[in-house]
A and B are shown apart, each in its own frame.
Chain A
């Protein structure tokens, strides 16, 4: 556990990918096989089921420290992380334990059916035996989410160098549906990938944002353009007489979208499609908010199916007749894909259309129509590109449209969490409505650390009232808020809900009198619905 705690410390402090990779590789080289497997599982979101809840942890910490609950809350709010708060509050530990990571995880798993007293005894013993940094990682094993900025790619690269397997192969091997309690690291990193697990998805190929001029990409004849959809990237797999639907977050979401079930009979055996899960009606995508009503629900109601019907806009074919065809050229895969979609001829399986264009200027004009099409810009893919693994530069680009903007005034501020705990970083903004201010959105990111500390000290001097963690502030600081879309909403006072709101700039040059109005927002709603 000491080694794992040390690893977490390096990973969370370092901002350099190479340092993280080195630390991870060194850890893997020294760790035993079960610890290797568990680190892989933890860092790819496959933590064991929670057997102790946070209320229990909090209660036992309060008993051990004798602190009042309100002070515990205050500490939690400042630290922004429950596991870390408890580790800092407990009296100094004895650092007695030499048990490895997998010992503690297995012990925690065994608590599943234990009674409360057994759980408490175990947790208190663990806290006593571990030192502060070990307690922190132990608590995080229970509460979840290390948030240490280790990308899937870094994990893949570390494994690739430890086991001497190409990174793209590792990436595929560790994707999909495996359970650290049911497998071993050796089995997982063995040769025959899909034989072992029919549901296993391919790693997604992701595009970088195009920042320069598309003309720098070369001649238009070598490129394919598509609309960039604002849904959930997904993979539909038909193997072994079963249908699997995966999201880009590698979540198996087959059950959530019963609309896709007819494809089980229609798709030929050994087919994998890449595309966008979208709510779709009358030949056009519905706003993303409608798709949100479908996410996070286990059982879909008939009403939801009617109001937010889902389609799959396919744009790539990765496996055909049981063959992995990712290394063939996009134009070949596309031809096959078009044939498949046409043959199947089912309304939920659609083709994401390509855009015919002759020069980059013409394409730039198409891009301006993106919002009308219900898309968030364009995708540019090289016609001879293979389907690569992870986010790669060169062959695929996303060329998004510029955000909508509104100048607004900050009216509430709240302290952030994690990296930004103890600083006022979460703001609520308002527009003018006559002589009133109407709040319409929260926005977080977008300011530099320097600007954040400037706003933070301004908030501390200009707060008017306190409501729990929220301060109302003098309406004075004006910001330009950018967002990707706008929809009507009866949950907000302003009557609108924004998509991806964020702070674009601090408008120190603008006084309160020059901010936008509620009328301006309603105008945007009418033009961009």
Chain B
């Protein structure tokens, strides 16, 4: 049974008449997480996890019609049962389980299997058909445990301090920034952040998330406060004049793409840390196997290679075209924010 279809507006459930992460405006949208390639403007009604609600309102407007649900809570539309399950990608990120009669399909959204301490623990959901992302669906992408990466980052910050340099880390304002802040708490006396990161951060702190206190960078902030401290900026800040105030500084980029030297060099960064909020190769394989799915659709990323590998290994898989991106990883891709200071 074709519980979900791939249409030019997005992944569609005909029986329930709703879309999952549609890329054109629709009546009812189920949203996996608040990144802008998944949660877009213009839908009439949004359904997402409770923790995503304030993030959607922040990014899409307070006046959107949005319903929040808990993980595992069943919602019924026209005889179709929908539930959300942790995806471990960012705060509020969810996989969408859709059941029609006895047939179960799961849309992964973006996910990672390692628990980063703040984005939830990915939960394998048994299903007949699994629609999986595969941003890093090649075996060259296997991440080190985040403990190792964070200790490398701490060491790098110490080395910078010894060399009289401030440390600037670039990471996406929703997701990567919180993961860094949660795991690097106390690394320097103060942590300073770009306004885009600060706004999201304060909102999440108000909602009770375990995040450290940070300071907002404004045009009036005296340059002296950055000395020996950690500064967190969005990827789009790279190569912009906004960076000048941090001189002398060393620039670190946190993205799964940093696994390959060529990408690191393209970024003109002083250091690259292969820290990703997407599953690595082993993580993708582990997730697919854990669902027990008899059919897999692969979307955004190395989708054709991953589908072929699964098929050759006894899990029929097929690539589908979607308009999801990897902007949360592709450091340097403009995030839609303005440098208001």
Q: Taking beta carbons and an 8 Å cutoff, which residues of A are in contact with B?
A: 12-15, 65, 67-68, 70-71, 74-75, 78-81, 84-85, 88-89, 417-423, 449, 453
Q: Which residues of B contact A88 (CB under 8 A)?
A: 139-142, 259-260
Cβ 8 A contact of A421, one of B139, B141, B262, B330: B262
| Residues B270 and A13 in contact, CB atoms below 8 Å apart | yes
| Residues B305 and A14 in contact, CB atoms below 8 Å apart | no
Q: Is the interface of A mostly helix, strand, loop or mixed?
A: helix
What's the minimum C-beta distance from A82 to chain B, rounded to whole angstroms?
12
Chain A proximity mask over B117-150: 1 for CB below 8 Å, otherwise 0: 0000000000000000000001111100000000
Q: Which residues of A contact B265 (CB under 8 A)?
A: 12-13, 418-419
Q: Which residues of B contact A85 (CB under 8 A)?
A: 140
| Residues B139 and A65 in contact, CB atoms below 8 Å apart | yes
Q: A75-B139, A88-B140, A89-B140 are in contact. Are A81 and B270 (CB under 8 A)?
A: no
Nearest B-chain residue to A132, judged by Cβ: B144
Q: Which residues of B contact A13 (CB under 8 A)?
A: 264-265, 269-272
- How far, in angstroms, from A89 to B259 measured CA to CA in the complex? 12
Q: Which residues of A contact B332 (CB under 8 A)?
A: 449, 453
Q: Which residues of B contact A418 (CB under 8 A)?
A: 262, 265
> What is the total number of residues of chain B having a CB less than 8 Å from a CB of chain A?
27
- How far, in angstroms, from A421 to B269 measured CA to CA in the complex? 17
| Residues B262 and A67 in contact, CB atoms below 8 Å apart | no
What's the minimum C-beta distance from B48 to chain A, rounded to whole angstroms?
26
| Residue B268 is within 8 A (CB to CB) of chain A in the complex | yes
Cβ 8 A contact of B260, one of A15, A65, A68, A78: A78
Cβ 8 A contact of B138, one of A74, A81, A84: A74
Q: Which residues of B contact A89 (CB under 8 A)?
A: 139-140
| Residues B263 and A422 in contact, CB atoms below 8 Å apart | yes
| Residues A71 and B272 in contact, CB atoms below 8 Å apart | no
What's the minimum C-beta distance from A228 to chain B, rounded to whole angstroms?
32
- How far, in angstroms, from A88 to B200 measured CA to CA in the complex? 35
| Residues A79 and B266 in contact, CB atoms below 8 Å apart | no
What's the minimum C-beta distance from A417 to chain B, rounded to whole angstroms?
8
| Residue B59 is within 8 A (CB to CB) of chain A in the complex | no
| Residues B261 and A78 in contact, CB atoms below 8 Å apart | no
| Residue B309 is within 8 A (CB to CB) of chain A in the complex | yes
Cβ 8 A contact of A71, one of B138, B257, B330: B138
| Residues B262 and A81 in contact, CB atoms below 8 Å apart | yes
Q: Taking beta carbons and an 8 Å cutoff, which residues of B are in contact with A?
A: 138-142, 257, 259-266, 268-272, 302, 305, 308-309, 312, 330, 332-333
- How far, in angstroms, from A97 to B11 measured CA to CA in the complex? 52
| Residues B269 and A67 in contact, CB atoms below 8 Å apart | no
Q: Which residues of B contact A67 (CB under 8 A)?
A: 139
| Residues B140 and A75 in contact, CB atoms below 8 Å apart | yes
What's the minimum C-beta distance from B145 to chain A, rounded to whole angstroms?
11
| Residues B333 and A453 in contact, CB atoms below 8 Å apart | yes
Q: Which residues of A contact B257 (CB under 8 A)?
A: 422
Q: Which residues of A contact B268 (CB under 8 A)?
A: 15
Q: Which residues of B contact A15 (CB under 8 A)?
A: 268
What's the minimum C-beta distance from B262 to chain A, rounded to whole angstroms?
5
Nearest B-chain residue to A88, judged by Cβ: B140
What's the minimum C-beta distance from B155 to chain A, rounded to whole angstroms?
13
- How far, in angstroms, from A453 to B257 measured CA to CA in the complex? 14
- How far, in angstroms, from A93 to B107 measured CA to CA in the complex? 35
Centre residue among B266, B302, B312 by max chain A CB count within 10 A: B266
Q: Which residues of A contact B262 (CB under 8 A)?
A: 79-81, 417-422
What's the minimum C-beta distance from B280 to chain A, rounded to whole angstroms?
11
- How far, in angstroms, from A367 to B272 measured CA to CA in the complex? 47
Q: Which residues of A contact B305 (CB under 8 A)?
A: 71, 74
| Residues B139 and A71 in contact, CB atoms below 8 Å apart | yes
Q: Which residues of B contact A12 (CB under 8 A)?
A: 261, 264-265
Q: Would you mind naming 30 contact pairs between A and B with Cβ atoms under 8 Å apart?
A: A13-B264, A13-B270, A13-B271, A14-B270, A15-B268, A67-B139, A71-B138, A74-B302, A74-B305, A75-B138, A75-B139, A78-B260, A78-B302, A79-B140, A80-B262, A88-B139, A88-B140, A88-B141, A88-B142, A88-B259, A88-B260, A89-B139, A89-B140, A421-B260, A421-B263, A422-B262, A423-B266, A449-B332, A453-B330, A453-B333
